[in-house]
Chains A and B, each alone.
Chain A
Amino acid sequence: MAKIIIDGKEWEFEEGMNLFEACTIARGGEKLPHFCYHPGLPVAGVCRMCQVEIEGVPKLQIACNSTVRDGMVVNTRSERVENTVRQILEFHLLNHPVDCPICDQVGECALQDQYMKYGLYETDVDVGDKVMKHKAQAIGEHVMLDAERCVLCSRCVRFTEHITKTNEMGIFNRGNHSEVGVAPGLSLDNDYSMCVVDLCPVGALTSRDFRFRKRVYRLSSVDSVCPGCATGCNMRIEYADGVIYRQKPRTNLAVNEYWMCDQGRLLYKHVGGDDRLEEPFVREDGELSPVGWDHLWSALKARWEGLGESRRLVLVGSPHATLEELYGLKSLLADAAGGRVLGHRLDGTEMDRDDGFLMAADRTPNDQGARRLGYEAFTASELHDAGGEDALLVILDNDLAGLDEAAAEALGSYGAVAYLGWRENATSRVADFVLPGLSYAEKDGVFVNKDGRAQRFFKAVDGPRQAREDWRLIAELGEIFGHTPTWRAHHDLLSELSARLDAFGALAGGIGEEGTLLDGDSAAKEVERG
């Protein structure tokens, strides 16, 4: 440990620690002014903003490229430091177009924020004298580049060099004419291209998807977990007036660090998509027709009772459903009402390539949670064998018919099929009863990722007016089959399952911000870099 004095106060840090990080802690979380430093990237030290005074060193030093040494005396707030930062910021603004009115970064722009504190507010540079660079270039499917706004911090270049290792971006030309861009003949279209939008401290790299759609300062955000694959990247859903505008990664060093794939970011489009199930449907005279909930429940009850004395209940869970819903389905409809649980997924489906970084082969968010609750994968022939004219099949958010043709045929052997889910698909189209549920952005829940880490996500926006929380639908189904659930509220489900099941005992104390490992394995699995 090294004793070090920052701004007149003594601190103890590990020898060799990055001085920028040490200063952040010493300043109570307030970071030094900076553009180029990012904890997830190698240090470049090009923006020269994080100047600090170190006693015994004649010139000011940049904190990001210095390390903590024993006996160091550092000053981050002296007049000399502030003057220097002010002048360096003026340098950064020499060729900046100051076109904030049409820039999407407004509200989360480091240049704006720092100008508020270190601005000169008077400039000697005429707009006409500025070096003009290329504006509004689409450099990839998802990213827009405005080279004039760039402060040449090289974060994007370091990201493509060290994180994705695709090396599309670089800084071209020299001096005043330096310009960030993609290498000739290439375009920025790797799977993580939108991370450079988050990394860019100014408005040089902006998202094409979010372009001009909303001012950033009008967005509210809520913590969530990406439902796109078994990695479970932590993210924030950003929304305004009940509409989701974007999804951004949330830092979790144990899972996704600072990154997230483009696919996951754009999943929000399904939430307001055209294929939402917005009303309850009942099949009448061969046609699915929209009905009210009362009608659906009475029709479902009548059908159930009409299946005869030997009527059976067959249940299919889903790796897309939350832990609470899967527990509700199992404890109420299987254990209490006597249904037979087939499993949670068709064997071998919804698998894609594992890219060795964040995208997992398993493209479902809660496979581990389902398995730990006792669900297993099943085959289409098992689905067929469990069927019969006297069987009611309840499917929880699982597109069996769309995933496998044999499964689609097997669905025909059931007396009745009830589908709970939020998107219209091949299965909902052949079901006799369609019960519209809510998407991941419209409800609270827990997913267990591939490492057995339980992570919470929260509701961002309201769902369609007629859609209901899935756990309530399961409770209503229980009433139809003659069993009242022991849980009355959503949080009862989690507390009951963590109390009753040993596999989920770790959740009894609540789920932390970084998630909770169910196996109690404290050595978090390192995120491998591809």
Chain B
Amino acid sequence: MPYSIHGPQAATGGKGSRMRGAELWYLKEIFRGMYVTARHFLTNVFHMADMPTLQYPDEKPNYGPWLRSRHRLMKREDGTPRCVACQMCSTVCPSDCISIVAMEDDRPDVEKRPETFTIDLLRCVYCGMCVEACPCDAIRMDTGIFEIAADSREKFVVDLDFLLNNTTDGVKP
């Protein structure tokens, strides 16, 4: 149903005509709108089980494995971080929210590991570039946690310990 526009455009365009009668009072449109509302209402009343509304936060949506949620750091088999502190993630990060301090590791097969690894979740834009840049698959965004709340800004800055033991209560890898 095309809209009619009052004013010079309508007058010169010739596409619409001046509204009159019932159309002038939007009567038809009011009933059309009420029909849509009533249709949804009655569908939900008679098919309660299929109701699209989720009872969030009791019920949570399943966004599928492609969801980019809160980060976690992977561990090696011996429990130490898989991260080698190459800083590719912090280099590629567009919001500059990752900061890493590297240190030397004395194990013969591991030269470098992170001393500190912090992510400022408030600055993070959840673009997932850090995950793509990581050469060791050490950082992932698959925890499924997308509701992040805290009562101070400092608590949004998460450290190495937190990220290593981040619970994956969402989708498991």
Contacts and interface: CB of A to CB of B under 8 A. Distances in A.
B104 interface: yes
B111 A135 contact: yes
A215 B111 CA distance: 16
Interface in A118-139: 135-136
B112 A212 contact: yes
Interface in A169-226: 211-213, 215, 217
A101 interface: yes
B69 interface: no
B104 A102 contact: no
A211 B103 CA distance: 8
A101 B84 contact: yes
B127 interface: no
Interface string B37-60: 000000000000000000000000
Contacts of B87: 215
A215 B104 contact: no
Contacts of A101: 84, 86, 88, 135-136
A242 to B, nearest CB: 15
A217 B136 CA distance: 21
Interface string A494-526: 000000000000000000000000000000000
A212 B84 CA distance: 11
With a 10 A CB-CB cut-off, give which of A102, A136, A211, A213 has the most chain B CB atoms.
Answer: A102
Interface string B63-88: 00000000000000000000011111
Given A136-B111, A212-B112, A102 B103 contact: no
A102 B111 contact: yes
B88 A212 contact: no
Contacts of A100: 86
Contacts of B85: 102, 212
A508 B86 CA distance: 49
Contacts of B168: none
Interface string B85-125: 11110010000000000111000000110000000000000
A102 B109 CA distance: 12
Interface in A94-123: 100-102
Contacts of B84: 101-102
Nearest to B112: A102
Contacts of A217: 91
A332 B99 CA distance: 48
B86 A212 contact: no
B109 to A, nearest CB: 9
Nearest to A136: B111
B136 A212 contact: no
A212 B103 contact: yes
Contacts of B88: 101
Nearest to B86: A101
A212 B104 contact: yes
Contact of A212 (B91, B102, B135): B102
Contacts of A215: 87, 91
A232 B112 CA distance: 36
A106 to B, nearest CB: 8
A135 B103 CA distance: 17
Contacts of B136: 101
A28 to B, nearest CB: 30
Interface string B120-156: 0000000000000001100000000000000000000
With a 10 A CB-CB cut-off, give which of B87, B103, B111, B136 has the most chain A CB atoms.
Answer: B111
Contacts of A212: 85, 102-104, 112
Contacts of A136: 111
A150 to B, nearest CB: 16
A132 B88 CA distance: 26
Contacts of A213: 102
Contacts of B103: 212
A101 B102 CA distance: 12
Contacts of B102: 212-213
Contact of B86 (A102, A135, A211): A102
A215 B136 CA distance: 18
Nearest to A102: B112
A102 B136 CA distance: 11
A102 B85 CA distance: 7
With a 10 A CB-CB cut-off, give which of B85, B88, B103, B112 has the most chain A CB atoms.
Answer: B112
A66 to B, nearest CB: 40
Contacts of B112: 102, 212
A102 B87 CA distance: 9
Contacts of A211: 104
Contacts of B111: 102, 135-136
A173 B87 CA distance: 35
A215 B84 CA distance: 13
Contacts of B86: 100-102
A317 B88 CA distance: 49
A212 B102 CA distance: 6
B61 to A, nearest CB: 36
Nearest to A215: B87
With a 10 A CB-CB cut-off, give which of A135, A211, A212, A217 has the most chain B CB atoms.
Answer: A212
A215 B104 CA distance: 14
B96 to A, nearest CB: 11
B106 to A, nearest CB: 10
Nearest to B100: A215
A288 to B, nearest CB: 35
A215 B87 CA distance: 8
A90 B136 CA distance: 24
A42 to B, nearest CB: 33
Interface in A370-408: none
B138 to A, nearest CB: 10
B110 to A, nearest CB: 9
A211 B113 CA distance: 12
A488 B86 CA distance: 48
B161 to A, nearest CB: 20
A135 B108 CA distance: 9
Interface string B151-168: 000000000000000000
State the 6 A-B residue pairs at the shortest beta-carbon distance, nearest first: A101-B86, A212-B102, A102-B112, A101-B135, A102-B111, A102-B84
16 contacts: A100-B86, A101-B86, A101-B135, A102-B86, A102-B111, A102-B112, A135-B111, A136-B111, A212-B85, A212-B102, A212-B103, A212-B104, A213-B102, A215-B87, A215-B91, A217-B91
